[in-house]
Structure 1
Amino acid sequence: MAKLGKRTRAAREAFAGKNDVTVEEAVAMIKANASAKFDETVEIAMNLGVDPRHADQMVRGVIGLPNGTGKTVRVAVFARGPKAEEAQAAGADIVGAEDLMESIQGGTIDFDRCIATPDMMPVVGRLGKILGPRNLMPNPKVGTVTMDVAEAVKNAKGGEVQFKAEKAGVVHAGVGKASFNEAQLVENVRAFIGAVAKARPSGAKGTYLKKICLSSTMGPGVSVDVANASGE
């Protein structure tokens, strides 16, 4: 078994015995122990009482975090003509059509978010096996298949976070940086939890929000009291 580094040991000792704390307490603990040489991402993982293999239990949505993510997001847009020009003017990093499709098929995926106009979906559809597993496939439900490409690019660049339940019913996302102040992180965390809570699918039975855990990129996790996590 690999030996734990000093920082990891110290963080685990600081977190020992502290479970189901408030969002404020969790954020304070994480900030105090985020001591890597880079600005760590504050991450959230939520265990939900759903089986996303069933269509009526799929959890998916999007939330614009009040204080952004602190991450520089590279955006690719599938569009032609005036819509391509709109995307470029809005700050899209990559804009194209068949040429972009061929680039992705060749293994170049140099972006974090993919947006497409509806007329481009027959082209984008050929990339399902590549973009799907990476959660990059444009989808009208989260606003990434749209004619308003400028607004979509602006949202993606401005701190919008997409979420989707994985096979085990877990939703995870980055909700800010360790350099954010505590109030900013608490506000982002509560906004994200609230969005996932509101996205409860019709097929969900019993307890929906089962467990919530916060961590930093290099740090251990701390569980948050689910009962008042959203602050509502």
Structure 2
Amino acid sequence: MAKKIAKRLQALQAKVDSQKIYDVQSGVSAVKSLASAKFDETVEVALRLGVDPRHADQMIRGAVVLPHGTGKKVRVAVFAKGVKADEAKNAGADVVGADDLADEIKNGNINFDIVIATPDMMALVGKVGRILGPKGLMPNPKTGTVTMDVAKAVSNAKSGQVNFRVDKKGIIHAPIGKVSFAEDKIRDNMLELVRAINKLKPTSAKGKYIRSSSLSLTMSPAIKLDSQELMDMK
């Protein structure tokens, strides 16, 4: 199986000009042509930013609702009580609870992709933070997942909200749809994501904000993009 995958990647690599820089439209077309898996591969964008995540003011983190969604069915868990719990359920949350939800998490029952919490629940959420944190599930005000408006947060999550943050190397990886999406939908999703990231450029960041960028599929090599075109997206 490993040899088969390696062979496929080599064949795909041969189709990619590693020196070429693509504009967004051409890049989307090129990456779609690399689809080779038997499943609907995810299209991912990678942006290397000119920031130092060790500085708090340069830790780029946020969320954006993609206009055409991600193509993935998202399961949402909400920490809330009373009226807010009812609002979350009515909005379509898959799991709603408080102490009982925390117990489920402690027991390893984590069958959801996003966790939302009302502010008053954060002390409780903190008790399972060591479990949620490493999985990227910890609620955070910057991503709109710590909020009193749980109905809107659930709706956003179900509609294709993507949470993003730079890693230690200053790179953001984010899904922007499926390879089965039409080219214009992938492009629209990418533009929405890039605009959100551009708005978060810290004043302390020096030099080019987007140093390099690329598009890839789950099982494909990367297509290099014109980073200047992305930085010009407002």
Asked if 1:124 is matched to 2:125, the reply is yes
TM-score after normalising by structure 2:
0.94
Aligned residue for 1:194?
A: 195
Q: How many residues are aligned here? A: 232
**Structure 1 residue 169 displacement after superposition:** 0.7
Match of 1:229, SS state, is helix
* 1:92 aligned residue: 93
Whole-Å Cα distance in 1 between the matches of residues 130 and 212 of structure 2?
31
Contact 2:75 2:94 in 1 (8 A): yes
Provide the rounded CA distance (Å) in 2 between the counterparts of 1:66 and 1:32. 23
Deviation at 1:147, TM superposition (A): 1.0
The offset of 1:17, in angstroms, is: 3.9
Taking only the aligned residue pairs, the percentage that are identical comes to 53
> What residue in structure 2 maps to residue 114 of structure 1?
115
Q: Mind listing any 5+ residue stretches in structure 2 that lack a counterpart?
A: none
Check the 8 A contact 2:210/2:231 in 1, yes or no: no
Look up the match of 1:12. Answer: 13
Point out where structure 1 has 5 or more consecutive residues left out of the alignment: none
- 2:180, 2:231 → 1: CA distance? 22
Amino acid corresponding to residue 116 of structure 1 in structure 2: A
Q: Shift of residue 7 of structure 1?
A: 3.2
Give SS of 1:206's match.
coil
8 Å CA contact 2:18–2:224 kept in 1: the answer is no
CA distance in 1, matches of 2:18, 2:165: 30
Give the drift of 1:153.
Answer: 0.3
TM-score, with length taken from structure 1: 0.95
Q: How does 1:72-221 map to 2 (within 5 A)?
A: 72-221=73-222
Distance 2:54 2:132 in 1: 19
> 2:75 corresponds to which letter in structure 1?
R
Relative distance call for 1:101 and 1:7 in structure 2 (3 A) is same
1:57 corresponds in structure 2 to 58
Post-superposition shift, 1:9? 2.5
Aligned to 1:42: 43
